[in-house]
Amino acid sequence: MRILHVVQSLDMGGQERLILHLARALMARGHQVGVASLTLGGVLRREFEGITVIDVPRQHGFDAMMIARMAKALADFEPDAIHTHNPSPMFYAVPAARLLRIKSIVHTKHGANIYGKRSLHAARVVARFTTAFVAVSEGTADAARVKERVPPSLLHVIPNGIPLASFGPNPETRARVRRELGIPEDAYVVGSVGRLAPEKDYPLLVRAMSEVLGPNVRLVLVGSGPSQRDIERAIEALPEPKRAWCILTGSRNDVPDLLTAFDVFSLTSQTEGLPLVIPEAMATALPIVATAVGGLPSIVSNQVGILAPYGDAPGLTAAMAALRDDPERRKRMGEAACAYAHQRFSIEEMTDRYESLYRGVRSRATKEQTLASIA
């Protein structure tokens, strides 16, 4: 099959890494895969080597000519199936695919998504033009039922998968990364990886860690994005000694290596779907401390981590301190997290389900077309 993913950008982020993993897995099965991006550039672009990348840049605001440009891009690629990810790609690529009578139109909702009044109405209309609407968790599916009002016949839940072999504890890599970052070998390290976006609320993580930071305790944030200055201000507000114990690495392409340097993985988001980095951290045998939002409560049990309500900085602080003071508990949680990740989040299972969905939608649509022509 020829499968085209349509994305907002190729910047560093969990959604973009997921699409990269899925595209590679589909190509390994003999499919021809392309990616259409609504934004030029992107730090992950070089990672898509061997995968056809098509630029269909969108103007700011509503771009009235975007559907026509997208239709041309689709016609040139001639996909059997298109797979859009999050609202903007859906708004433009789904109508274009319908105009070209592409029969397999799959959309994945990766998070809660924030709509204005007009865009919410548009999402409810366009969602019904898909042939399958996928949510990455049950919580995200609940949001799809309420926001986009997706009919039950279209809605599927497919959890994110990762190439598990790429993730896992590695003492040598851990020591090397810690040396590179200037972190003592015996330090307690809380880390997070992701796009520095407002909804991730990394300043909350900085505030929660402020009472835990010390000469042998570090906070490491990996990523870049529009909230970087807000995070820097939160760090600058800390007392002088503690500022140096917060490390911002910027964007990195060696996420599996960086995770090995952590003792705990933390995510303090305001909203989430099923962030790819949580299974990655679990597969690295890291306990999780996070806010109880989106799909996180469905995968972070008290065997693998600790959840706190969004905005509860004292609760997050208490969780960080408890795991700092109990290495055996950290070890038990990390081992349970790793076992759970291998049980639930394999890239093979996710690819199986998407491949089946592409084929099932395509064969069903072809059958309907044949029956219509006979009639």
CATH at 215: 3.40.50.2000
Q: What is the pLDDT of residues 287-342, one digit of tens each?
A: 999 999 988 998 999 999 999 999 999 999 999 999 999 999 999 999 999 999 99
| 99 membership: H or E segment, kind and range | helix 87-99
**Can you tell me the distance from the alpha carbon of 280 to that of 65, in angstroms, rounded to the nearest whole number?**
39
Number of other CB atoms surrounding residue 39 within 10 Å: 15
Report the b/e string of 245-284 with b at 16+ CB within 10 A.
bbbbbeeeeebbbbbbbbbbbbbbbbbbbbbbbbbbbbbb
Residues 181 and 233 in one domain: yes
Residues 57 and 12 in one domain: yes
Cα–Cα distances (Å) from 218 to 199, 328, 363, in that order, read 23, 19, 53
Residues 144 and 225 in one domain: no
Residue 275's pLDDT is 87
Residues 321 and 200 in one domain: yes
Q: How many structural domains comprise the chain?
A: 2
Residues 366 and 320 in one domain: no
Domain residue limits at 20: 2-161+346-374
Helix (H, G, I), strand (E, B) or coil at 93: helix
Residues 187 and 330 in one domain: yes
Residues 130 and 233 in one domain: no
Residues 317 and 354 in one domain: no
Rg for the chain, CA atoms, rounded: 21
Q: Per residue of the chain (375 residues), what is the pLDDT tens digit?
A: 999 999 999 987 788 889 999 999 999 999 999 999 999 988 888 889 889 999 999 887 777 799 999 999 999 999 999 999 989 999 999 999 999 999 899 999 998 888 888 999 999 999 999 999 999 988 899 999 999 999 999 999 999 999 999 999 999 999 999 999 999 999 999 999 998 999 999 999 999 999 999 999 999 999 998 999 999 999 999 998 899 999 999 988 899 999 999 999 999 999 888 888 999 999 999 999 999 998 899 899 999 999 999 999 999 999 999 999 999 999 999 999 999 999 999 999 999 999 999 987 544 444 444 334 333
> pTM to 2 decimals?
0.80
Residues 151 and 126 in one domain: yes
Q: What is the pLDDT of residues 13-64, one digit of tens each?
A: 788 889 999 999 999 999 999 999 999 988 888 889 889 999 999 887 777 7
Residues 183 and 135 in one domain: no
Residue 373's pLDDT is 38
22-28: Cβ within 8 A, 24+ apart: 22/161, 22/347, 22/350, 22/351, 22/354, 23/48, 23/51, 24/51, 25/163, 25/347, 25/348, 25/350, 25/351, 26/351, 26/354, 26/355, 27/51
Q: In the block, which residue shows the tokens 């016949």?
A: 153
- Which two structure tokens, joined as six digits, stand for 110? 């990766």
Residue 115 is given by DSSP the state: -
Among 241, 262, 282, 284, CA closest to 189: 262
**Residue pair 56/34 in contact by the 8 Å Cβ criterion:** no
**Can you tell me the distance from the alpha carbon of 38 to that of 48, in angstroms, rounded to the nearest whole number?**
15
Residue 365's pLDDT is 46
Residues in the chain: 375
How buried is residue 356: exposed, middle or buried, by Cβ count under 10 Å (0-12/13-18/19+)? exposed
Residue 67's pLDDT is 94
Residues 58 and 196 in one domain: no
Residues 48 and 74 in one domain: yes
